[in-house]
Chain A
Amino acid sequence: MGYYNEEDLNRFSEVGKQRPDLFEKFMSWYEACQADGALTRREKALIGLAVAHAIQCPYCIDSYAQNCLEAGSNIEQMTEAIHMASAIRGGASLIHGLQAHSSVNKVSM
C-alpha cells in the first residue's frame, strides 16, 4: 500500500470522529465557500482545481476535476487553469533567482 489510498477519499468524514466540533466548523466554512456568489460555482471549481495542482493533493485533484466537469467546464479550460497554477509556481521559484544572484553578488568582486 502506498501513502495515498483512493478509497480514503470516501472516508474523509471519518476525520471528524475526533474533535467533531472542529470538523463541523471546517465543513460549514468549506461548503459556504463553494456556493455561487460574486464568483460562479464554475469559476470556484476551476480555482479549486488550480490550487489542488499547486498543492499537489491527489484527493483534491480527483474531486475538483469531477467538480469542474459537473460545473460545465471542459478539459481545455481545466488545462488552462492547471497551467496558471503551474506558471505561478514556476514564477515563484524563478523570482528566488534574484536572491541567489544577490547572494552571489554579495561575495563577488
Chain B
Amino acid sequence: MAQSLPVLNSDAAAATVNFNDKLAEHGLELRGSTIETLQVNVGKLCNQACKHCHVDASPSRTEIMTREIVNLVLDAIRKFRFKTVDITGGAPELNPSFRYLVAEVRSHGSHVIVRHNLTVLFEPGQMDLPEFFRDHRVEIISSLPYFLEDQTDAQRGKGVFTKSIQALRRLNEIGYGMDGGELRLNLVYNPVGAFLPPSQASIEADFKRELRTRYDVSFNQLYTITNMPIKRFLEYLRRSGNEERYRRKLVAAFNPQAVPGLMCRTLISVDWTGRLYDCDFNQMLDLGVSSELPQSIADWDPARFTLRRIVTGPHCFGCTAGAGSSCGGTVA
C-alpha cells in the first residue's frame, strides 16, 4: 500500500537508486523476449507542442524519416513479419511517406497501430485520414489526458480539447470506437502533472461515462501511461521544483510484478535515421541497443535480439511504478 501513504515509504536517497540494482534486489534481470512489435518513429515534426512530450516534438522540428529509410524499415518487415507495427512521431501523418508506409506494412500482413493525436486531422491535406485509417484497418491510439477541457488544454495546448472531440466524433461516424467493433479506437490518459496515474479500470469507466454523456463520443479502451522524467516533462519537473519528489515517487512505487510485462521485452524501436533502440524513451535519450547488437534497421536480425540485454536508466522506474506503464497501458 505504498500508494496510500507514499511519504511513509520514501527516503531522500531513493531518487538516485540504480534501476538494475533494484531489479537485482528482487532477483530480476531485464532481458528481451520474442520480438512482436516494431515501433517506428517517423520523426519529430508535430502540429502540437505538448508540455509533457518525451519526444520534444513540435511544428518547428525538421527531423523526419526519409523514403530511403522507410524502405529499409519495409525490407526488415519483409524479412521478419512483425505481429504489430506501431507508428509514432511527432505526428506521424505529417511525414510525406506515412501513407506509403502504412499501405506497404498492411500488404505484408502486420497489424498496424498509429499514434494519432486527433488534431492533425484538421491540418491541410489530412481531412480524409479517418477513411484512410478505416480502409487499411489501422488501430488508432490517441492521447486525451482528461475528459475535461481545462486539464487537456493545459497539457496539449489551447483549443486542443475541442478539436480532439470533433476528431473523435468523425472517427465514431465511420465506425471507430464501437463496442465489439473491428475498428479499434483507444485513448491514452496520462497525468496532467507530477503524479502517478490512477487505476486504469476506474479512470476508463469515468472517461466512458463522461465522454458519452457530455460529448456523445465513444472509444474502446483507455490506457494509462506514466509521464517519463525525460525531455519536456523533465524540464517541467525541474522548472516546478518537482523533480526529486517525482523520481522518489517512481522508485517508491517500484513493482517487481510489472517487470515481466514491460514493453521493451517484446518491442524494438527504430528512429527516423534507422537506428535501433529498446524503446521510444531510450530513443529520445540517445541510448541505442546494446553495443554487441546490430545498431541499424538495415542490419536487422531477429535471432540476435531474442534474450538481448536491455539498456536501462533511471527513467525505467516510470514503467515499473504501480501497475506499470507501457504504450499499451498498465502491465501488472
Contacts and interface: CB of A to CB of B under 8 A. Distances in A.
Interface residues of B, number: 24
B285 interface: no
B148 A66 contact: no
A41 B4 contact: yes
A10 B12 contact: yes
B97 to A, nearest CB: 39
A35 B198 contact: no
Interface stretch (A69-77, A84-92, A93-101): A69-77
Interface string A39-74: 011100000000000000001000100110111101
Contacts of B10: 10
A12 interface: yes
Interface residues of A, number: 21
A72 to B, nearest CB: 3
Nearest to A13: B8
B314 to A, nearest CB: 19
A34 B2 CA distance: 10
A69 B193 contact: yes
B5 A63 contact: yes
Given A69-B195, A71-B198, A72-B202, A34 B12 contact: no
A66 B202 contact: no
A21 interface: no
A11 B11 CA distance: 8
Contacts of A35: 1, 4
A42 B8 contact: no
A72 B7 contact: no
Contact of A10 (B1, B3, B7, B191): B7
Interface of A: 9-10, 12-13, 27, 30-31, 34-35, 40-42, 59, 63, 66-67, 69-72, 74
Q: Which 9 A-B pairs have the closest CB atoms?
A: A72-B198, A34-B4, A31-B1, A69-B195, A72-B203, A9-B7, A70-B196, A71-B198, A70-B195
